[in-house]
Amino acid sequence: MSLRSRLTRRTRLALMGVAAGGVASAIAVTSIAISDSSDPVTVAAGQETDYGPEPEADSALVTQAGEFSTMATATATLSRDTMINRARTWLTANKGGPVPYSMERNWKDGYRQDCSGFVSMALGLGKPGLNTVGLADSRNGVTKRLSGVSQLKKGDLLIDYSTTDGDFRHVVIFEKWANASHSSYWAYEQRGTYGTTHRQLRYGIGSDNYDPFRPVKLGGGGGGGQLPSPSVSWPVLKSGSRGADVRSAQRLLAARGHKVEADGVFGTKTRSAVITFQRSRSLAADGVIGPNTWSKLISTVQSGSTGQAVKAAQTQLNVYGYGLALDGAYGSKTKSAVVAFQKKHHLKVDGVVGPETWRVLLGTR
């Protein structure tokens, strides 16, 4: 554990020591803060997680042994895509905003509003949900430990369930790798101050207390032939999102005639453009780019195509290391990159960036 992490923990423990008795409560601590506005939003273990000592296994706030439906019966057919979609619901469940963090309250759906309650909800476990120790305990039949982070797939978990070093427990849901080097990844997380978040993390990458786990009855989805796995899903972008996906969305909006700078920051101008676009396509005008908006926003590009939509495709291909010039011209180099990408991801190899190729370009890392 780094000195920085120890200082963060000691600060929290000092603040908790002055609190009156009673059950442990989530304390918003901003010491050594890592801003959500950094680009990219990459957070290492122990930095600004804002969670505290969760309820223990015998607490009334935790589902007891014998009372929760195990993965073997409750979620035998739960696909990875379905699990991620369940996790996403908490991003906007609170009147368009995230579900607030609490270790002492249950959300409207009956699940405890802390990190392990959130994961229990995503997995469809019994309410109010297990704690992190319960999620990691093989005797509960919910997860199995993986040998390393290289095995991580969508819907897997990274859990810090040990308190031997005095640190607090935590769990996050892995979605996809953020880069080709696998040095960070996109994850869903329930944390103090912020509630439900979707951001880039590095928990478990390197030396820390986070270990990778796989839900034992989480399916891989259907599909076959030339179609990508259903576990590949469109990213959800909203105010505060950053990175290549946002930049591509901005270029696709520009291709549709909206004056948006491709700066990779989902700010007020981008949100306004998204709302205007959604209204023009009779979509829910919520300013969030989800599956329905993506399906209307993308444009098929191929040899001879030019413009912002081609730049968007080139932007996404470069995420995978193809090193294309962002010139907006669909020439031989861009086609070669598309063909290579399609072969690698078991898509129809035609050199055309259509809906399925777009989905995998945006939804796979």
Label each residue of 9-63 as H, E or C: HHHHHHHHHCCCCCCCCCCCCCCCCCCCCCCCCEECCCCCCCCCCCCCCCCCCCC
pLDDT number for residue 181 = 85
pLDDT digits (tens, 9 = 90+) for 181-235: 889 999 999 998 899 999 999 999 988 889 999 998 776 532 222 333 444 678 8
pLDDT digits (tens, 9 = 90+) for 8-26: 333 343 333 333 333 333 3
Neighbour tally for 13: CB within 10 Å: 15
Least confidently predicted of 49-53, 104-108, 131-135: 49-53
More confident residue, 28 or 347: 347
The torsion of the CA quartet 174, 180, 183, 187, rounded to 10 degrees, works out to -20
Can you spell out the DSSP letters for 123-164? HTPSSS---HHHHH-GGGTSEEE-S-GGG--TT-EEEE---T
pLDDT number for residue 174 = 96
Among 89, 170, 160, smallest CA distance to 122 is for 89
pLDDT number for residue 164 = 65
- Taking residues 327-331, what's their average pLDDT? 96
Q: Given pLDDT bands bounded at 50, 70 and 90, which one contains residue 163?
A: low
Residue 269 has pLDDT above 90, yes or no: yes
More confident residue, 165 or 102: 102
Cβ(201)–Cβ(42) below 8 Å: yes
